[in-house]
Structure 1
């Protein structure tokens, strides 16, 4: 399976202190800034990212806050088929999301829920 990027997810109760920490202190820039959701990326290495989610404030994605990290893969359908073949627990079925991501959630052997995804063309 070809992995494109891994993005850890941090659950927060308030985005303000997280913005100060990740942006002002560590030097990340906000790549996405939505109610209840911030995705930070490194200006020098845009694939170095971290998401911060306030689950009860992220109305546009009711699933936000459920995952420990997101792993972007080249072929999410192949990853989904392989996860099912191996008997891994699928926590959220494969779904095309309105914001241009196809994803599913799977539980790892340590009990953590991972968002396995790829970007898709929303115009199709």
Structure 2
């Protein structure tokens, strides 16, 4: 099996709000859009498809579900502090402040207008000995 792309599909209440958030703050570009649908991409991350809650293209048992309990995590090579400042300065609410875990993970979280949790991660050098 060979994958050609990775896409995450999120069911949200307001497709336009999430689309604008992802393009403005996360550097995604719109690929396709229709009523209740938007496809977003960037060359260094997974694609994102946004579907309006209740949209008829989904099976009936999935139509009213929302993206919940899901964290979109983006690992940065460097610049985590600068990204946190950039987002904060842009008025994005930081829902989990920048912190470092004992295992060397540095991270912070934000949420888009539909409550989709987005986490930025940078791995700190860990002294193992």
* TM-score normalised by length of structure 2: 0.42
